[in-house]
Amino acid sequence: MGQPIEDLKIITCHLGNGCSISAVDHGIAVDTSMGFTPLDGLMMGTRCGAIDPAIIPFLEEAEDLTPPQINELMNKKSGLLGVSGISNDMRDVRKGAEEGNERAVLAYEMYAHSIRKYLGQYLVEMAGCDAIVLTAGVGENCDRMRRIVFAGLQPLGIILDQEKNRRDYHGKERFISRDDSPVKIIVIPTNEEFMIAQDTLSIVSDLKK
């Protein structure tokens, strides 16, 4: 964008099998969809995301489930997999939705809805934003999901360029917002292995001091 991060308000969206959204206000992460664990927040591949806490005692009583079983259910058998009944892979869920599978359609729409909820929350929290960044498997590669997420947000200054959104620039950083969009929409490929390596080097270097 040609501006220092200290001058910008950015919402970062890591959308894949695991998901999180963060509000980055002038270079400082001021909020994130994750809570005590990564289970909170967005609906994910197998994680349920944010739910009514009363669901837990309900499952204990109505389904006779133990706390470890509920933990397993919420972390490994919910999300896209649990709702669609097909897969935790967005590609499989999208295919099922396009074929008319009602549960797959519901899972697809719920995934998009949870993203839109947090976008709205962070837009209000930061009183607007300059850019929305998309990354990870779904954020980088699923043009249909991006189209659903940004549908109707023009009044908020978020204008998706449909042609740019459809183009396949696999593995490359790119703008997918219209040139006249006040809020820029940017796809940036994730590189988690590189970030882990950087953090490991930093920790090891500090230990040697």
**How much is the pLDDT for 6?**
94
pTM for the predicted model, two decimal places: 0.87
Check whether 39 has a pLDDT greater than 90. Answer: yes
C-alpha pair distances (Å), 83 with each of 105, 117, 146, 150: 9, 19, 20, 23
Q: Report the alpha-carbon distance of residue 41 to residue 34 in Å, rounded.
A: 5
**How much is the pLDDT for 80?**
95
- Segment 41-54, tens digit of pLDDT: 999 999 999 999 99
**How much is the pLDDT for 21?**
96
Q: Where are the alpha helices (DSSP H) in 5-157?
A: 55-62, 67-76, 79-84, 90-98, 102-125, 136-141, 143-150
SS3 label, residue 53? coil
* Residue 180 CB-half CA count within 13 A: 2
Q: Which residue has the tokens 């706390």?
A: 67
SS3 label, residue 51? coil
Query: Which residue, 46, 42, 112, 38, is CA-closest to 78?
Result: 46
**How much is the pLDDT for 54?**
95
What is the rounded average pLDDT of the residues 159-168?
90
| Of the candidate ranges 56-60, 65-69, 144-148, 192-196, the one whose mean pLDDT is the lowest | 192-196
**How much is the pLDDT for 109?**
94
**How much is the pLDDT for 158?**
96
- Segment 78-133, tens digit of pLDDT: 999 999 999 999 999 999 999 999 999 999 999 999 999 999 999 999 999 999 99
Categorize the per-residue pLDDT at 170 as very low, low, confident or very high, splitting at 50, 70 and 90.
Answer: confident
**How much is the pLDDT for 60?**
94
Question: What mean pLDDT value characterizes the chain?
Answer: 93
Which DSSP helix (H) or strand (E) runs through 198? helix 192-208
Categorize the per-residue pLDDT at 13 as very low, low, confident or very high, splitting at 50, 70 and 90.
Answer: very high
Q: Report the alpha-carbon distance of residue 206 to residue 202 in Å, rounded.
A: 6
Q: What is the DSSP letter of 2?
A: -
What is the rounded average pLDDT of the residues 173-183?
94
